[in-house]
Amino acid sequence: MKKILFISLFILIQVYLNGQALVEGTAEKAGMSAAKLKMIDAMTQKYIQEEKFPGGVILVARKGSIVYYKSFGYRTPEKKEPYKNDDIFRIASMSKAITTVGIMQLYERGLLDLDDPVQKYIPAFAKTRVLDTFNSSDSTYTTDLLKTSITIRHLLTHTSGITYGDSKPEGMQFIYRKLGLVNAGLSSNLMTTEEFINRLAEAPLAFQPGERYAYGLNMDVLGRVIEVVSGQSLAVYLKKNIFDPLRMNDTWFYLPKEKWDRLVPLYSHDKDDKLYLYGNNPMIDYPKSEDHNYYAGGGGLSSTALDYARFIQALLNGGILDGNRILSRRTIEVMSSDQMIVLNRNGNGYSKIPGFTYCLGFSLITDEAAGMSFKSPGTYEWSGAFSTKFFIDPAEDLIFVGMVNIAPNHHGYFWNRITALIYAAIED
């Protein structure tokens, strides 16, 4: 009896010290129904048969146990090459969560402050102005001085005034195109990260910093901040400080050649809503590029379902996995706290729906949204333009990763339906 108690105590100490592991387990031991989780199979196959998407990989883990991890569909239109669990997907804006963690690491090490002006690290932003008027007849525009400097916090919350080129107000697309900010947020063989961000600083802001939320190239700027503060390229920094400690061996900006065949193809829908495969296109197959020195912290990474699950499991664990700590528990608490209280109140925040808000680098569900979603208050999450999706639900000790590569996705509600099946399987 004493021996059993000693072993149990030893295991508990190891879990406390090393963080909950992420291992293959059974649904029952994780407090879930295997039969209900299996309903995901039928739902997924239905969508594939209806050509809503080609296939992909889905992973669900609870209490540190992987309870569902399957691949579906075929990578080729001829249906000769099935998807595999270890396939590599373009994760697009799911890169933002990783860049956020990189910034928060520097923050907790005292190397930067969240309210530092970005021009402290990237002097080009000292000259940035805000768009005042745009003349569509001749594409000329006027600008005003900034009322306040862009801060690291503004960038983390997409309240800086930096947008994507296709965003409002009118004229931003023209301005970005004129500056050569092409394939923004993915890759570029025309310039380095430093050159891209310095050129972005020449573009006027869409609004005054802190005025409102607008999604944009903010995390790309933060990627450059990481480079300046660390003295390393973003690729090297993330590998050393996140990917290697978490054993994320398949997460890269530009894949090693031996991994190229594992990158899944990208699909889209034609005018009749039928699937078709994008052809060979450097703009699409950027993860296979060589000798690029631009690292898009906002959207340039590719990864596997398991790699990304290890990343978010570490966050769920309070910053530690398998004995390797990437963040402190308190830093994660700060990172996952609502940053939009004032802006949401005046209608300029992330959402006009109470309880759906934004923290630092993630969307967040608060108590105000209790009952409006299966997800618990405190859940933080994001997705990618090529239809990837993840969420972290601390209250249920639950993580989810969904990997699909299709753009645009006319059937995004698929993830909502899968989410319903996952939560319905919880039995404890």
Q: pLDDT-based confidence at 5, cuts 50/70/90?
A: very low
Query: Which of residues 1 and 63 earns the better pLDDT score?
Result: 63
Of 103-107, 162-166, 217-221, where does mean pLDDT reach its minimum? 162-166
pLDDT digits (tens, 9 = 90+) for 129-149: 999 998 888 888 899 999 999
CB contact set of 176 (below 8 Å; sequence gap of 6+):
164, 165, 184, 203
Q: Which residues, 6+ apart, have CB-to-CB distance to 416 below 8 Å? A: none
Least confident of 176-180, 265-269, 377-381: 176-180
Give me the pLDDT at residue 13, please. Answer: 40
The residues spanned by each domain of the chain are 22-100+236-424, 112-231
Select the CATH number that applies to the domain covering 112-231 from these four: 3.40.710.10, 3.40.50.970, 3.10.20.600, 3.40.50.1100. 3.40.710.10
Examine domains 22-100+236-424 and 112-231 and report if their fold is the same. yes
Reply yes or no on whether the pLDDT at 3 is more than 50: no
Considering the chain, what is the average pLDDT of its residues? 91
More confident residue, 69 or 181: 69
Least reliable range by pLDDT among 112-121, 279-288, 379-388, 392-401: 279-288
| Tally: H helices and E strands in the chain | 13, 16
Indicate whether this model's pTM tops 0.95.
Answer: no
The answer, yes or no, to whether residue 122 has pLDDT greater than 70, is yes
Mean pLDDT, rounded, for 342-353: 93
Contacts for 50 with CB less than 8 Å, ≥ 6 apart: none
Strand ranges in 314-365 using DSSP code E only, listed in sequence order: 320-321, 324-325, 356-358, 363-365
User: Taking 80 as the threshold, does the pLDDT of residue 14 lie above it?
Assistant: no
Round to whole Å and give the CA distance between 227 and 225: 5
Taking 60 as the threshold, does the pLDDT of residue 102 lie above it? yes
Q: What angle (nearest 5°) sits at the alpha carbon of residue 313, between those of residues 307 and 319?
A: 115
Q: Which pLDDT score, from 0 to 100, does residue 190 have? A: 80
- Domain 22-100+236-424 is of which CATH architecture? 3-Layer(aba) Sandwich (3.40)
In the chain, what percentage of residues exceed pLDDT 70? Answer: 93
| β strands within 245-372, DSSP E | 267-269, 275-277, 302-303, 320-321, 324-325, 356-358, 363-365
Q: Give the pLDDT confidence score for residue 348 in this predicted structure.
A: 94
Q: Per residue in 99-138, is it b (16+ CB within 10 Å) or e — as a string?
A: bbbbbbbbbbeeebebeebbbbbbebbeebebbeebeeee
3-state secondary structure of 229: helix
pLDDT of residue 7: 35
Between 100 and 16, the more confident residue is 100
